[in-house]
Every structure is written in structure tokens, then in C-alpha cells.
């Protein structure tokens, strides 16, 4: 057995000592869990900027994992964390605290009058798990419908509804999950008319009805599919989808993990479509970077599920510490009118990206709302041929130039560069981000990395 001194002296070696270790050496004790680790060790962060151990700055155009909605180290969030740490941080699940009660009240005010019953959890997958359990218990069914580009989590009930990630190698997923086509307007067939997505929705539910064993429970959707490629259904689609649910006694669950709390220029993305779902799930943005999530539903659904013995214990359900942070985050967003700011900065970002599109044929589409934006790279605009390798190369070059940005790669579609900067982003930082993306595209084109065949 190694001594404590030996263990911690080896773990805390100075980054500047001897030869700098490679990222492979530094991560030798970590389980690799998806995408490759980027070749830097982040030492500090402030606002929309990250800094590595060598002092190099990176513009963070993903708000961490799309979660640091107020940027990094927001002074009021830091102060609230310090205050909250002196009060109860974690409690037994049956004990309540003022922060949890107050956050539930605030969410009810924001989402009311229909959605007023909240459950405080830690992650988006947890909140979607809870939503699906509520839907199944309330309806008595077990069948769930999701988009074929969806991402709702990696847990037992959410992984089967996640179709934009690797699914092979883990055995059979939970039965009863059915995929319907994502309403992907950019890749609408040339022969299709303006109502193509609505017609496809009718066709999709004909197939759902044929496959169902008579136990339909819920449709789980993101109002804007983020990991699936920043895809927003056309206006009218989600309202029609809700009608399909009501016709079949299903509940509509809106997963607003990345779109909630102002990012799209509205407090919730469902507002753009004029719908109120039966259940809404919040996560990522609610904790301003801390693990905090919520599942919110109607009094009717909560009451019936309670009568039927609804059970969803987790270790950190209703913890006071993250609830305090969530309260402060919502207060700042409302007080500083950051939803309006997101709309204005989104317009500036969209204009900058469309200017790049004018200069580069490889940008097939620019899309998104507010500060959730995406550009899709193609080999040519006529065929819209997917070029995921080029998109990945542009993303890598952006990182080399000092910008952290996300690339989404799915079979059958081009690399989609996804952007979700914090709501506190400045006009100058928006312009810097667009400039770096433009330089990265130019460098990759000059290097002959775009396959034009």
C-alpha cells in the first residue's frame, strides 16, 4: 500500500515540472466515456472564457456542457455558493428546506397556471426518468415515442429514447419505445411541399398505432433538438403533435434541458410554438453549471400519481444547496432581462454566421434560435452531401485558435457545429467567435480538407 504522502505528491505534480505529460498520460486513470479529451487542462474560468495551465485563453461557445448559462464564476453565483455552503447542503429525502420550497414556487410562477408541481433532482436524465415514470403511472401505459435524432439521457428509461448516440453493444433497450422522423426542414426532399413535416407526422402516427400494443403513455421531445443537430420543428408541428397525444390519451413531455431559462430568446422554447406540455423537464441551465434539474407537471397528474404511490427516490432529491443556486440564477436572468439579451445577441450571432455562409459554399445551413445556433457543413449545396470529417476538422482548428465549440456528427448528415454561449455573452465576444469560426473554415479549406466529390 502506498502512503498518503506518496499518493498526493504524485497526484499534485506541478504542470511545469520536467517534460509536460501528454493528455493520454494525464488521463491514464480515467474511464473514457465518449468523445476524446481535448489536449488541455483547464485551470480557471471567468465569464465566457476558459484558461488552461499555461495561461492560454479559450472562448467558451458551449457554456461548459451547455449549462453555465450565466458564464463561469459569475460573482453572484459564487457568493451564493459560499453562503449556501454554511447552511444545510444535503438532507435526508424526507426533510425539506426553504430553498427547495422557494424554487418550486418560483418555477410555478414562471410556468403557471397549469404546471405548478415540481420535483428537484440533479441531472437531465433523472428529470426525464421521473417524467416518464409519472406518465406511465398516470396513463397506465408504457409505450413512449421520441424523435429519431433525440438525446434524452443515458439512464435506463432515457437511453432507449436517445437515438442520436451509439446504441449498439448494450443489449436490448427498454421495450415499448418507438421513433418517429425528426422534422428536419433543411433536409426535406426536393419534391416535398411546405406541409411535408406535418404530413410525415400523420404518417408516423399511423405507424405508431400499428406498432402499439394499446399501451401508449407519452411523447418525449426537445422543442429544439440540440445534440441531434440544432433542429427546430416548423411552427405548427408541436401543436399538431400535442393533438396526436390527446387523441390517444398520451402525455406530451417537453425536455427543455438546453432551451429553458432564456437561451432561445424566450423563457422556455415551448413559448415559440404556443404550447403548454403536460410535463416539462429542466436541467443544465437551471443550476447555472451546478447539477440541478426539475420535473414540473400539473396538479391533476401529480395528484393521481400520488394516489397510485408514485416513487422516485434519489440520493440528492430536494437538496438545498443546488436549489439556492437555481433560485439565484433565475433571479439574475429575470432581473437583468437576459432573455431579451439572448434574443439580441442571437440576432447578432445569426447575422455573423450568415455572412460566413455568403463567403463559404461549405456552409449549407444556418439555424437555431437566440443563443442556441448551428451551422451545417456540406460538400455542396445542391446535393447537401454530408461532410462530417470536415466539420470535425473545423472544430479542431477552432480549438487551436482559442475557441471551445461543439460538433455534432450523425450518420447521414453533415457535421453540425453547435453553439450555446452564455446569456451574459458580450457583442465583442460574439464577433470574436464568428471571426474564429471564419478563420478555421478558411484554414481547413486552404489545407484541402473538404472532400468536394
Q: What is the DSSP string of 298-333?
A: -HHHHHHHHHTT-----TTTT-HHHHHHHHHHHHHH
pLDDT score for 303: 98
**CATH label of the domain that carries residue 100:** 3.40.640.10
Calculate the CA dihedral of residues 388, 63, 49, 32 and round it to 10 degrees. -60
| 52 touches 78 (CB < 8 A) | no
Pairwise CA distance, residues 435 & 61, whole Å: 13
113 and 28 together in one domain: no
Same domain for 301 and 394? no
Q: Which of 136, 284, 367, 397 is catalytic?
A: 284
Residue 139 shares a structural domain with residue 261:
yes
In a domain, 215, yes or no: yes
In the block, cell 459560499 appears at: 82
Comparing C-alpha atoms, which of 356, 355, 374, 412 is closest to residue 66?
A: 374
* Domain stop point among 335, 350, 380: 335
Tally of domains within the chain: 2
For residue 43, being part of any structural domain is answered with: yes
- CB burial class (10 A; 0-12, 13-18, 19+) of residue 188? middle
Among 308, 335, 362, where does a domain finish? 335
* DSSP-derived 3-state class of residue 62: coil
Q: Does the residue 113 lie in any domain?
A: yes
How many other C-beta atoms are found inside a 10 Å radius of the C-beta of residue 52? 16
> Do residues 283 and 392 both lie within one domain?
no
CA distance 317 to 315: 6
Query: In angstroms, rounded to a whole number, what is the distance separating the alpha carbons of residues 442 and 307?
Result: 61
Q: Is residue 12 part of a domain?
A: no
pLDDT at 9: 55
Q: Is the same domain home to 178 and 273? A: yes
Task: Identify the pLDDT of residue 210.
Answer: 97
In this predicted structure, what is the pLDDT of residue 442? 98
Q: Are residues 149 and 238 in the same domain?
A: yes
Same domain, 153 and 36: no
pLDDT along the chain (453 residues), means of 10: 59 58 89 84 96 96 96 98 97 96 98 96 97 98 96 90 86 92 95 94 98 98 94 97 98 98 98 98 97 98 98 95 98 98 98 98 97 95 91 94 82 78 98 98 96 74
191 part of the active site: no
Q: In what order do the strands lie in the sheet with 49-52?
A: 42-46, 49-52, 57-60, 403-404
Whether residue 317 sits in one domain with residue 413: no
Query: Do 103 and 151 have their domain in common?
Result: yes
Which residue is catalytic, options 60, 126, 136, 151? 151
Same-domain status, 436 and 402: yes
Residue whose grid cell is 434524452: 152
Out of 320, 335, 350, a domain closes at 335
**Whether residue 418 lies in the annotated active site:** yes
Please identify which of the residues 126, 255, 278, 376 carries the catalytic annotation: 255
In a domain, 79, yes or no: no
Catalytic status, residue 365: no
What CATH code is carried by the domain that includes residue 399? 3.90.1150.10
Catalytic residue among 258, 365, 367, 376: 258
Range of the domain at 32: 21-73+338-446
364 and 312 in a single domain? The answer is no
* Residue 2 annotated to the active site: no
Q: Is residue 384 part of a domain?
A: yes
Do residues 361 and 437 share a domain? yes
Query: Is 287 a domain residue?
Result: yes
Query: Which pLDDT score is estimated for 23?
Result: 87
Are 376 and 415 in contact, with CB atoms under 8 Å apart? Answer: yes
- Rounded to an integer, what distance in angstroms lies between the CA atom of residue 328 and that of residue 284? 15
Residue 235 within any structural domain of the chain: yes
Give me the catalytic one of 143, 222, 376, 429: 222
Amino acid at each position: 500500500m502506498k502512503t498518503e504522502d506518496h499518493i498526493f505528491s504524485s497526484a499534485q505534480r506541478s504542470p511545469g515540472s520536467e517534460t509536460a505529460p501528454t493528455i493520454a498520460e494525464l488521463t491514464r486513470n480515467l474511464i473514457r466515456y465518449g468523445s476524446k479529451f481535448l489536449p488541455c487542462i483547464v485551470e480557471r474560468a471567468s465569464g465566457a472564457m476558459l484558461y488552461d495551465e499555461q495561461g492560454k485563453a479559450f472562448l467558451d461557445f458551449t457554456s461548459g456542457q451547455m449549462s453555465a448559462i450565466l458564464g463561469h464564476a459569475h460573482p453572484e453565483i459564487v457568493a451564493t455558493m459560499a453562503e449556501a455552503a454554511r447552511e444545510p447542503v444535503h438532507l435526508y429525502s424526507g426533510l425539506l428546506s426553504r430553498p427547495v420550497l422557494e424554487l418550486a414556487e418560483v418555477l410555478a410562477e414562471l410556468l403557471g397556471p397549469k404546471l405548478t408541481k415540481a420535483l428537484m433532482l440533479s441531472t437531465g436524465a433523472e428529470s426525464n426518468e421521473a417524467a416518464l415514470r409519472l406518465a406511465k403511472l398516470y396513463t397506465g401505459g408504457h409505450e413512449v415515442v421520441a424523435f429519431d435524432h433525440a438525446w434524452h439521457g443515458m439512464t435506463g428509461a432515457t437511453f432507449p429514447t436517445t437515438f442520436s448516440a451509439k446504441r449498439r453493444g448494450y443489449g436490448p433497450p427498454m421495450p415499448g419505445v418507438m421513433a418517429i422522423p425528426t422534422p428536419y426542414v433543411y433536409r426535406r426532399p426536393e419534391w416535398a411541399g411546405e406541409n411535408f413535416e406535418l404530413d410525415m407526422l400523420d404518417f408516423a402516427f399511423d405507424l405508431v398505432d400499428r406498432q402499439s400494443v394499446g399501451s401508449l403513455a407519452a411523447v418525449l421531445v426537445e422543442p429544439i433538438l440540440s445534440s441531434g443537430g440544432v433542429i427546430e420543428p416548423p411552427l405548427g408541428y408541436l401543436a399538431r403533435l400535442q393533438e396526436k397525444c390527446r387523441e390517444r390519451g398520451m402525455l406530451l413531455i417537453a425536455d427543455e434541458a438546453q432551451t429553458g431559462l432564456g437561451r432561445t430568446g424566450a423563457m422556455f422554447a415551448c413559448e415559440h410554438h404556443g404550447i403548454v406540455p403536460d410535463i416539462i423537464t429542466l436541467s443544465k441551465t437551471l443550476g447555472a453549471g451546478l447539477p440541478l434539474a426539475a420535473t414540473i407537471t400539473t396538479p391533476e397528474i401529480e395528484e393521481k400519481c400520488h394516489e397510485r404511490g408514485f416513487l422516485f427516490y434519489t440520493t440528492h432529491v430536494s437538496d438545498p444547496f443546488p436549489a439556492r443556486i437555481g433560485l439565484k440564477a433565475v433571479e439574475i436572468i429575470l432581473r437583468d432581462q437576459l432573455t431579451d439579451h439572448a434574443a439580441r445577441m442571437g440576432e447578432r450571432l445569426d447575422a455573423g454566421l450568415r455572412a460566413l455562409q455568403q463567403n463559404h459554399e461549405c456552409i449549407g445551413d444556418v439555424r437555431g434560435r437566440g443563443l442556441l445556433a448551428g451551422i451545417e457543413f456540406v460538400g455542396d449545396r445542391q446535393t447537401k452531401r454530408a461532410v462530417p470529417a470536415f466539420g470535425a476538422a473545423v472544430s479542431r482548428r477552432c480549438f487551436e485558435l482559442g475557441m471551445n465549440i461543439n460538433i455534432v456528427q450523425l450518420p447521414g448528415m453533415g457535421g453540425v457545429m453547435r453553439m450555446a454561449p452564455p446569456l451574459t455573452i458580450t457583442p465583442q465576444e460574439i464577433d470574436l467567435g464568428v471571426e474564429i469560426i471564419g478563420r478555421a473554415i478558411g484554414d481547413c479549406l486552404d489545407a484541402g480538407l473538404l472532400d468536394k466529390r
